[in-house]
Structure 1
Amino acid sequence: MRRIARIFLTAVSVLALGLGLTSCTDDSSQDKENKAKQDGYDRLVARQPAGRMEYSPTREAINQWVETWGKRGKLSYVYIQNAKGEYGYFIMKGLPVPRCKMLTPTERMESTSNGVAVLPQPGMDGTYSAGSMCHAYYGFDATTGAYMEFTVGTNQSFFLFDKPMTMPEYASASQMGPTSIEDIEEQR
């Protein structure tokens, strides 16, 4: 008897779910336009399917980035160009980090009666941020550990390398932090 009741309840549940799904759809103009967009996409994919690559240069580049920067103690050479075209450089431990990067989530999702709300979370320093400051970078000097911060944009760019550059524009760059290229070469 229990088995028959379970089968009956399962059948009723499946039927109710099917009826519920069909009753949720309507033929609004947005639904029609979404259907036309999806139909067009399906037709294009059928006629022009995505090609398949034998090899991914993007994956190789990402893996090489990981191999380059995934080592403790790796130095970065940050060359900054100002609006006059002049270059200066910093030598940092590891990569410069955008100030908007965090180790903890900056938002949390919370279910409400009206749906899902995205709520801000305080940062590591106990304050809230709007997620700005992605144009500001910081890091630590290669030999002294001194904190360094710089911004990019508005006529200032930076170029990042994993070794000193010898091209003329970089070779004549002025030292902007406590550590010089000569200091690093002496340590090696």
Structure 2
Amino acid sequence: MKTITRIGAVCAALVLGLGLTACEDDSSQSKETKAKQKSYDQLVANQPAGRMEYSPTREAINQWVKTWGKRGKLSYVYIQNAKGEYGYFVMKGLPVPRCKMLTPTEKVDSSTNGKAVVALPGMDGVYSSGSTCDAYYGFDATTGAYMEFTVGTNQSFFLFDKPMTMPEYASATQLGPTSVDDVGDVGAKD
């Protein structure tokens, strides 16, 4: 009985091995994928990634959290137009891209036919393409007025946590209800 079981196990292993071999992909894409993986494996073996004792990236992220993770923190948004002219807003907190949401924008819908990603409506009950990431909004530092601006196509913005004194910023035109003089050193104290 043991011999028959062993023969059966050997036969099963052979069938399984031959079956797996027959299922291998011999396409040109498969061959190139394997070649890339072999090359990558060889490069990693010859040049393994170094280990850092300290991460300047983590330090910068932690400093960002320390800077902006406070309620009431003011931001100074300087906008440069195509002519090189500057204007500014003083805002409560950071400007937010309009494509950011507090609710999920999609869900995975599963059925017997597979999975599909389904769009969900936004907070206002309507659907969005999510293409408003170049539009930013925020609220004025003293009046709370809603403000929105766009970037790209000859307009960019520069964000600071304190008023800037360099000549191009110091002569910037006030664009919102609050001026740098209205808030004084409020945003500069930390």
TM-score scaled by length of structure 2: 0.84
In the aligned structure 1, how far is the partner of 2:59 from the partner of 2:155? Answer: 30
Once the two structures are superposed, the pairs formed by residues 141-180 of structure 1 within 5 Å of their partners are 141-180=140-179
In the aligned structure 2, how far is the partner of 1:165 from the partner of 1:186? Answer: 12
In structure 2, what residue type is equivalent to 1:126?
G
In the aligned structure 2, how far is the partner of 1:32 from the partner of 1:136? Answer: 45
Task: Give the aligned partner of residue 97 of structure 1.
Answer: 96
Residues 23 and 143 from structure 1, CA distance in 2 versus in 1: closer, same or farther, beyond 3 angstroms? farther
Q: Confirm whether residue 122 of structure 1 aligns to residue 121 of structure 2.
A: yes
In the aligned structure 2, how far is the partner of 1:127 from the partner of 1:152? Answer: 24
In the aligned structure 1, how far is the partner of 2:85 from the partner of 2:25? Answer: 62
Give CA deviations for 1:103-140 in whole Å, capped at 9, x if unaligned: 01101112244432111010000000111110000000
Moved more, 25-34 or 120-129: 25-34
- Matched residue of 2:30: which SS? helix
Q: Confirm whether residue 41 of structure 1 aligns to residue 40 of structure 2.
A: yes
Unaligned segments of structure 1, at least 5 residues: 1-11
In the aligned structure 2, how far is the partner of 1:178 from the partner of 1:24? Answer: 73
Task: Give the aligned partner of residue 4 of structure 1.
Answer: none
Q: CA deviation at 1:174?
A: 0.8
In the aligned structure 2, how far is the partner of 1:156 from the partner of 1:93? Answer: 22
Task: Give the aligned partner of residue 83 of structure 2.
Answer: 84
Residues 150 and 24 from structure 1, CA distance in 2 versus in 1: closer, same or farther, beyond 3 angstroms? farther
Moved more, 29-38 or 66-75: 29-38
Q: CA deviation at 1:25?
A: 4.0
Residues 114 and 36 from structure 1, CA distance in 2 versus in 1: closer, same or farther, beyond 3 angstroms? farther
Q: CA RMSD in A?
A: 2.3
In the aligned structure 2, how far is the partner of 1:171 from the partner of 1:96? Answer: 21
TM-score scaled by length of structure 1: 0.85
In the aligned structure 2, how far is the partner of 1:63 from the partner of 1:165? Answer: 23
Residues 51 and 186 from structure 1, CA distance in 2 versus in 1: closer, same or farther, beyond 3 angstroms? closer
Task: Give the aligned partner of residue 70 of structure 1.
Answer: 69
Q: CA deviation at 1:27?
A: 2.2
In the aligned structure 2, how far is the partner of 1:84 from the partner of 1:104? Answer: 39
Task: Give the aligned partner of residue 24 of structure 2.
Answer: 26
- Matched residue of 1:53: which SS? coil
Unaligned segments of structure 2, at least 5 residues: 1-8
- Matched residue of 2:184: which SS? helix
In the aligned structure 2, how far is the partner of 1:27 from the partner of 1:50? Answer: 31
- Matched residue of 1:148: which SS? strand
In the aligned structure 2, how far is the partner of 1:140 from the partner of 1:23? Answer: 64
Q: CA deviation at 1:44?
A: 0.8
In the aligned structure 2, how far is the partner of 1:177 from the partner of 1:47? Answer: 57
